Amino acid sequence: MSQPMVAFHVNGQVVSVQDQQGQTLLDVLRNTLHLKATRMGCGQGECGACRVMVDGHAVAACDTPLWSVNGKQVTTVEGLGSRAAPHALQTAFIEAQAMQCGFCTSGILMSAAALLQRHPQPSRQEIVQMLDGHLCRCGAHNRVVHAIQQAATQLTAT
């Protein structure tokens, strides 16, 4: 029996992928679509490294069955901005040096982007709460909070 197809948008492009049993969104992003910026950390929905946006909500791609994104809009950090036109969050992270090894950064950027869509001017507490779902072994959280505040200021001023 042939495997069912799952069709969805990734960074604005339509993709159609065979749904193999047990396959997660993270498997397909990294191994089929070769979008490697979304990281595999714990693989259990605990560390936040694999967060992407699905219909505007930050979700753990390692814990998201492929079938569940059928018909949905998925955004990865590759779709957030580009070198030529970075998102305000990306610019703020660079200016604030809000990363060290960078392993956690893609996931944090996607959660931050989802937060700013819902709350364009989040309080420090809201940002800290959002970061609860993200482990950073380098301890960059203070600079991450600062960068997100900077990006929020810039986005609301434009």
Q: Which residues of this protein are in contact with ligand FES, per CB under 6 A?
A: 40-43, 45-50, 60, 62, 99-104, 136-138, 140
Token pair recorded at residue 51? 């967060």
Query: Which residue is it, tokens 């301890």?
Result: 139
CB of 50 to ligand FES, least distance (A): 3
Choice between 31 and 121, CB closer to ligand FES: 31
CB of 18 to ligand FES, least distance (A): 22
Choice between 16 and 72, CB closer to ligand FES: 72
Task: Count the neighbouring beta carbons within 10 Å of the beta carbon of residue 158.
Answer: 5
Beta carbons of 74 and 8 less than 8 angstroms apart: yes
Closest-CA residue to 39 (of 92, 110, 96, 97):
110
CB of 100 to ligand FES, least distance (A): 4
